[in-house]
Structure 1
Amino acid sequence: MTKTRALRLSGVALLIVGASMVVGPPASADIPFNVAVERDLGLSPRQAEARFAQQDHASAIESRLRDTLGAAFGGAHFDPSTGKLVVGVTDPAMTAVVRAAGAEATEARYSQRELDGIKSMLDETDAPAGVTGWYVDVYRNRVVVEVNRAAATRETSAYLDRLRALGPAVRVAEVTSSPRALYNVRGGDAWTTLAWRCSVGFSATGSGGSRHFVTAGHCTQGAGPAYGYNDEQMGSLGGSTFSLFGDYGKVDVTSAAWTLAGTVNRYGGGDIAVKGSTEAPIGASVCRSGSTTGWHCGTIKAKNRTVIYINGGAVGGLTQTDACAEPGDSGGSFITGTGQAQGMTSGGSGDCTDGGETYFQPVNEALTAYGLRIVTS
């Protein structure tokens, strides 16, 4: 990094909540893949291989049953204890259909469509202070609205009373912290603008052969150049969405010095090859790569989550996990053990010392929005 750019970066960093300006290797850079999986998921390499294969199978079953069950589909999640998909049904007559597909059936009071409808209604509301977001809880078949009481006001209490009046389909849950956007071509590597550092999500190409990578939208706001981990210019900021429509953006890679790679950095464990972008179910294990904390793994807890960032406003369509992350990891890769790209880190709460929650933007939505195809290897 040149001295001029370093000074400009330092000046802007003071204005960005939680920004991380350190571009060097993360403290956990020497942790190999198998150690990270054992550390974060409690799985041996053989157990992890079996788990990821089961998740891929469950994902395919969920896709089929979602269409087959239609209005009777009450949500689904992967159960790691059995290695099977658990599917909620609002019509007991459909239980046999679920079992015939190789999944377990459980009774659901509300359909996925009903709960998604409530969540969509919440997305249209102007949430007061202290409300940190909402999502459909497929485990308990309801919509959960989270609130940080430490930041609540009188308006918050009135807002929550109105939600409780909707009945048992909505539950208010208290949290102790508010999520923040994690400010700060191989997935997980660092890249910078003139203002902050983030992490690469996934390499992608356009129909005409144009070259890009997708990352978090709050990382690509504005215009200007983009630089790689070695401070060499890669290209320029090419698009940004950071709203209820999601948190995704792209960088246009125009420098001939850079080659797009269909891999993700495992920080000490070699690269993992990107094989596709099949969406994993709730309950599945995933791992995350980022330029601040390296490689960490966790479990998908909820999808289509709306999050209200204390330094960025409401963002919709995110997937919630219990993998940790810190500022500068934003935009980095979420991927399964079998190489299925899942998304790009958006934000979260907590850290990788005490643990926390992290949200990611599903990658397929970003690819579709920009008309791109993910680079595989």
Structure 2
Amino acid sequence: MSRKIAALAASLSAAGLAAALTLSPINPSNAAPYVAPADPAVAAQDAMVSALARDLRISPTEARARLARESKAADAESFLRGSLGASFGGAWLDRNATTLTVGITDPARAGLVRAAGAVPRTVARSLTQLDVLKNRLDSKASRAPKTVPGWYVDVTTNQLVVLTRAGKANQAKAFVQASGVDSTAARFVTSTETPRPLIDVIGGNAYYIGSGSRCSVGFAVTGGFVTAGHCGRTGATTTQPSGTFAGSSFPGNDYAWVRVAAGNTSRALVNRYPGTVPVAGSTEAAVGSSVCRSGSTTGWRCGTIQQKNASVTYPEGTITGLTRTNACAEPGDSGGSWLTGDQAQGVTSGGSGNCSSGGVIYFQPVNEILSVYGLTLTVSGGTPPTTPPTTPPTTPPGGTSWQAGTAYAAGATVTYGGQRYQCLQGHTAQTGWEPPNVPALWQAR
């Protein structure tokens, strides 16, 4: 729950909170003329607005208003997810990102939803129950017929959606029943998707793997960058930038991270073709939110988030936990960045279609990658060093409680060389990141 929502929940009445978080559209006739500021971050935001206006076919003013509403919706969803607990049935925005609807299994909680500026809808299953059903299919993924290209939780209908080839619904239903899922909880949708990993062609911010295959950098993290797992196995080497795959998971998941060699500098930026967009964090956007992705094959493209926690069957196996979108991509965009505003969302996995006829593209959520590998996203306003020095520092004089290998949360305090320090960003300490050496991570007290 963000500080903004927490403060509002504590200090405002239900009516006041609803007014504060209203998602009603801005009236362009009342808006002041827009003048581009000199701030580079705001200028980059304007570039995103232009791309959204182009791909969603709306005006720049409407794009800015949409982004503002989506930011409020993300805060409201985070607050309600935590407050509703087991009765939370998912949240989604309508087509114009005007109304945030929240599913609830307990009608008595409707007042809380309204107080947060959202519309309650009573549903039969909580999001947790839907995820349990999906996990049953995930556990039997190796037995899924080739005529089932994927499945996902659809919070808008409170069902598990199973994709199937035309005329092959009986095979899909048999797979669902064999997995122990109640068929009344599933909806079978005919699909022409032919998902595949997007690899072997130059992607956005290209890097090279092994003897010459190429993928795209996703987001800079402490010590390297994250990308798609199908781009390389653990231990594979990279060039431009030089590094090594420190972790990789594919299939099952589609994520990896590359530890870069000394001399490479990670930055909180994403290529916008042309120009760059800053990365300020990784707050997850709601279903229905707009999202943009970067890749050198098709440039900077935008769309909307359709579903989360989708499973997709590639020729190599089934990938779970992906986010499904209608933003187009093509081979060569693999591993690249997805953002909503300045918030990192994920890295390109794969999908079907192209940017001429449209298609369905999936990305691996970035927060899962950060959590699995214990990584810290490089964000604007302070970047930790990407690699430790080759020569270990000498032991400092005086009292020292700081230790390499320890995970420190923001706000934690340590001593080093007799000086007290407070942690500014959560991270796992490494040799070379001693508090006096990394002011982006530690502040002397």
Q: Deviations over 1:135-184 (max 9, x none)?
A: 1101111000001248x598556335657982431111110132111113
Number of matched residues?
329
- Structure 1 runs, 4 residues or longer, greater than 3 Å off: 32-35, 152-158, 160-165
Which of the pair has more CA radius of gyration?
A: 2
Confirm whether residue 87 of structure 1 aligns to residue 87 of structure 2: no
Confirm whether residue 243 of structure 1 aligns to residue 251 of structure 2: yes
Pick the aligned partner of 2:317 from 305, 310, 313: 313
CA 1:75–1:154 in 2, change beyond 3 Å: closer, same or farther? closer
Note the C-alpha offset of 1:35. 4.3
**Counterpart AA for 2:340:** T
Is the 8 Å Cα contact of residues 169 and 188 (structure 2) preserved in structure 1? Answer: no
Is the 8 Å Cα contact of residues 51 and 80 (structure 1) preserved in structure 2? Answer: no
Pick the aligned partner of 2:299 from 266, 277, 294: 294
Residue in structure 1 matched with residue 329 of structure 2 by the alignment: 325
**Counterpart AA for 1:144:** V
Q: Deviations over 1:310-367 (max 9, x none)?
A: 2x21011100000011111111000012x00000000001011111011001101111
Please report the RMSD computed on the Cα atoms of aligned residues, expressed in angstroms.
Answer: 2.1
Pick the aligned partner of 2:353 from 334, 337, 350: 350
* Greater RCO, CA 8 A, separation 6+: 1
Confirm whether residue 263 of structure 1 aligns to residue 264 of structure 2: no
What TM-score results when the alignment is normalised by the length of structure 1? 0.82
SS of the residue corresponding to residue 250 of structure 2 reads strand
Residues 157-168 of structure 1: pairs in structure 2 closer than 5 A: 158-159=174-175, 166-168=182-184
CA 1:164–1:353 in 2, change beyond 3 Å: closer, same or farther? farther
Residue in structure 2 matched with residue 277 of structure 1 by the alignment: 282
SS of the residue corresponding to residue 250 of structure 1 reads strand
SS of the residue corresponding to residue 90 of structure 2 reads strand
Q: Tell me whether 213-222 or 45-54 shows the greater mean CA deviation.
A: 45-54
**Counterpart AA for 1:183:** I
Residue in structure 1 matched with residue 154 of structure 2 by the alignment: 137
* Distance in structure 2 (CA, Å) of the matches to 1:58 and 1:51: 10
SS of the residue corresponding to residue 282 of structure 1 reads coil
**Counterpart AA for 1:249:** A
CA 1:46–1:307 in 2, change beyond 3 Å: closer, same or farther? same
* Distance in structure 2 (CA, Å) of the matches to 1:83 and 1:38: 16
Note the C-alpha offset of 1:220. 2.1
Is the 8 Å Cα contact of residues 324 and 361 (structure 2) preserved in structure 1? Answer: yes
Q: Deviations over 1:192-245 (max 9, x none)?
A: 21242111100000xxxxx210000111225332122xxxx522222101133x
Pick the aligned partner of 2:68 from 36, 43, 53: 53
* Distance in structure 1 (CA, Å) of the matches to 2:107 and 2:181: 28
Residues 125-274 of structure 1: pairs in structure 2 closer than 5 A: 125=140, 126-149=143-166, 158-159=174-175, 166-184=182-200, 188-193=204-209, 194-205=211-222, 211-228=223-240, 233-244=241-252, 246-256=253-263, 258-268=264-274, 270-274=275-279
Q: What percentage of aligned pairs have identical amino acids?
A: 49
CA 1:82–1:222 in 2, change beyond 3 Å: closer, same or farther? closer
* Distance in structure 2 (CA, Å) of the matches to 1:321 and 1:114: 23
CA 1:165–1:119 in 2, change beyond 3 Å: closer, same or farther? closer
Residue in structure 1 matched with residue 34 of structure 2 by the alignment: none
* Distance in structure 2 (CA, Å) of the matches to 1:154 and 1:140: 22
Q: Deviations over 1:40-92 (max 9, x none)?
A: 11232222222112112111111111122122211111225362321011221
**Counterpart AA for 1:166:** D
Is the 8 Å Cα contact of residues 101 and 120 (structure 2) preserved in structure 1? Answer: yes
* Distance in structure 2 (CA, Å) of the matches to 1:133 and 1:124: 13
Is the 8 Å Cα contact of residues 160 and 172 (structure 1) preserved in structure 2? Answer: no
Pick the aligned partner of 1:304 from 309, 326, 331: 309
SS of the residue corresponding to residue 136 of structure 2 reads helix
Which runs of 5 or more structure 1 residues have no equivalent in the other structure? Answer: 1-31, 206-210
SS of the residue corresponding to residue 94 of structure 1 reads helix
